[in-house]
Amino acid sequence: MAKERIIPIGPYHPLLEEPEFFKFYVEGERIVDADVRVGYNHRGVEKLSESKTYDQATFLVERICGICSTSHPFAFVNAVEDVSAIEVPERALFIRSIIGDLERIHSHLLWVGLAGHFIGYNTVFMWAWKYREPVLDMFEIISGNRNHYGMFKVGGVRRDIKENDIPGLVKAIDEVEKFCTMLLKAVIDDPVIKARTQHVGILKQQDALDLGVVGPVARASGVDIDIRRDHPYAAYDRVDWQVITMKDGDIFSRTAVRLLEIIESTKIIRQCLKQMPQGAIAADVREIGRGEGVGQHEAPRGEVIHYIRANGSNYPERHKIRAPSFMNVPSFKKTVIGEQLADAALITAAVDPCYCCTERMAAVDVETDKVIYSGEELVRLSQQKTERLRGQ
């Protein structure tokens, strides 16, 4: 009899990129305790980076995240340029800001779409993702890629934005702003979305400060931080825009912060496209030298911080990376305990940790210790709750 061979796929779902395993302990419908396991996807990038040249490491760190792929190269080049005070040409600074904020738009739209799906509003999901497409098209025009743009290098950027493309890009960003303003109104004026998200999963301002959360999660809890304004880099201090904050700390505030940030990002991009000076797009960097440097970037999910120690060779002696979700994910204990199980999928997704987490959730009955809901069933539970609210 012929032997059969089994190819194991998993424990990760092949579609998911950042698995986290949440365990919720419940009494009836109410969550009484929660636990999280991470590390399923620990790839040792920091160690790997020590064996890559500064040019190679830019590509390596771009592959840390698939959604906000430019966040890490951005912080990384800032850190390396900080080591030996490299002057980056003006035009490159503007191009960097354009890439950074286009990415914020598409990442936030992705989140809004998935949040809509979790609460059973598939129209929001379809709309948000439809309007995300033109943003990816803009990326394709600028970089040749819809994701993993490969635009960054130490000392500048790899590709210029062609003058011929600029009128088309300005028109495209105007369209994006129009669509997103419409989406913003549709989402924040909807009574059912309000009922599902207001006063749910609240992170109080003091807790946000204690836990050191960053990005839209912090700003929705009234913590007024934004690296683009507080530690100006690239061209963010040369254009006019606002930091969006809200004070309630619930899911509604987080949604509103993200949607309003999209509008601000369109302003940044439009101004950058128009004000971009002519000139070189990269400095000639021969060697990095010795020393240490810190680089930050306000990614769609918050502050990314990289630390580089250079030993005079072509390889970093040490490369430390801290992603924003590392600070945001631990906030779930404050937000989820005491809430209903039907809201759990949405609350844990509200920090935008990359969505796979919700697929890996399980609910455990406190008394029998049995798993009673899988991640998929939790999403269904959430959708049913919206249906009930709609019926009322």
Partner 1 sequence: MRIDESLTNKFGQQIEVQGKSKRRLFLTVPKAIALEVCRFLKEELGARFSTISGVDTRSAVELLFHLPIDREHLVVTLRVPVAKPDLEMPTATGVYPAANWVEREIREMFGVNFLGHPNLQTLLLPDDWPAGVYPLRKHSYDSEIENTEREN
Element (H, E) at 153: strand 152-153
Residue 293 or 375: the one with the smaller Cβ distance to partner 1 is: 293
Name the DSSP class of 329. G
Helices (H) and strands (E) in the chain, counts: 16, 9
From candidates 172, 327, 336, 357, binder to partner 1 by CB under 8 A: 327
- Binding residue for partner 1, selected from 10, 14, 44, 391, defined by CB under 8 A: 44
Q: Does 360 bind partner 1 (CB under 8 A)?
A: no
- Is residue 305 at the binding interface for partner 1, with CB under 8 A as the rule? yes
204 is a contact residue toward partner 1 (CB under 8 A)? no
* 97: its two tokens: 């800001």
Would you count residue 62 as binding partner 1 (CB under 8 A)? Answer: no
How many residues bind to partner 1 according to rule CB under 8 A? 30
CA angle 58, 60, 64 (to 5 degrees): 110
The first and second tokens of residue 117, run together, are: 């799906």
Question: What CA dihedral angle connects 99, 103, 105 and 111, to 10 degrees?
Answer: 180
Please give the Cα distance from 113 to 75 (Å, whole number). 27
Contact track, partner 1, 75-94, x by CB under 8 A? -------x--x---------
Q: Which of 16, 38, 192, 282 binds partner 1 (CB under 8 A)?
A: 38
Distance (Å, whole) CA 116 – CA 77: 35
DSSP 8-state secondary structure symbol assigned to residue 256? H
Block residue for tokens 């009930």: 388
Interatomic CA distance for residues 354 and 259, integer angstroms: 17
- Cα–Cα dist 302/216, whole Å: 7
Give the separation between CA 316 and CA 308, rounded to whole angstroms. Answer: 7
Q: Applying CB under 8 A, does 30 fall inside the site for partner 1?
A: no
Determine, following the binding rule CB under 8 A, whether residue 330 of this chain makes contact with partner 1. Answer: yes
Q: Tell whether residue 230 is a contact of partner 1 (CB under 8 A).
A: yes
Distance separating alpha carbons of residues 166 and 220, to the nearest angstrom: 34
Of residues 183 and 225, the one with the C-beta less far from partner 1:
225
Residue of 3, 5, 42, 370 interacting with partner 1 (CB under 8 A) = 42
Q: Is 232 a residue that touches partner 1 (CB under 8 A)?
A: yes
Whether omega for the bond prior to residue 277 falls within 30 degrees of 0, making it cis, is no
Binding region for partner 1 (CB under 8 A) out of 63-71, 266-274, 313-321, 377-385: 313-321
- What distance in Å separates the CA atoms of residue 290 and residue 316, rounded to the nearest whole number? 10
Contacting partner 1 within 140-179 (CB under 8 A) = none
**Chain residues 94-113 in contact with partner 1, contact rule CB under 8 A:** none
Is residue 241 at the binding interface for partner 1, with CB under 8 A as the rule? no
211 binds partner 1 (CB under 8 A): yes
Q: How far is the CB of 96 from partner 1 (least distance, A)?
A: 17
Among 159, 194, 318, 380, the residue binding partner 1 under the rule CB under 8 A is 318
The verdict on 303 binding partner 1 (CB under 8 A) reads yes
* Under rule CB under 8 A, residue 309 binds partner 1: yes
- For the beta carbon of residue 286, count every other beta carbon within 10 angstroms: 7
- Between 348 and 382, name the residue whose CB sits nearer to partner 1: 348
Q: Which of 12, 59, 129, 326 binds partner 1 (CB under 8 A)?
A: 326
Helix 90-118 with 122-143: angle, nearest 10 deg? 160
Number of residues in the chain: 392
Q: Which of 159, 333 has the CB closer to partner 1?
A: 333
**Residues whose CB is less than 8 angstroms from the CB of residue 253 and which lie 6 or more positions away in sequence, other chains included:** 220, 221, 246, 247
* DSSP H/E element including 37: strand 30-37
Q: Is there binding between residue 296 and partner 1 (CB under 8 A)?
A: yes
> What is the smallest separation between the CB atom of 230 and partner 1, expressed in angstroms?
4
Q: Does 39 participate in binding partner 1 (rule CB under 8 A)?
A: yes
* Residues that bind partner 1 in the complex, under the rule CB under 8 A: 38-39, 42, 44, 46-47, 82, 85, 210-212, 225, 230-232, 292-294, 296, 303, 305, 307, 309, 317-318, 320, 322, 326-327, 330
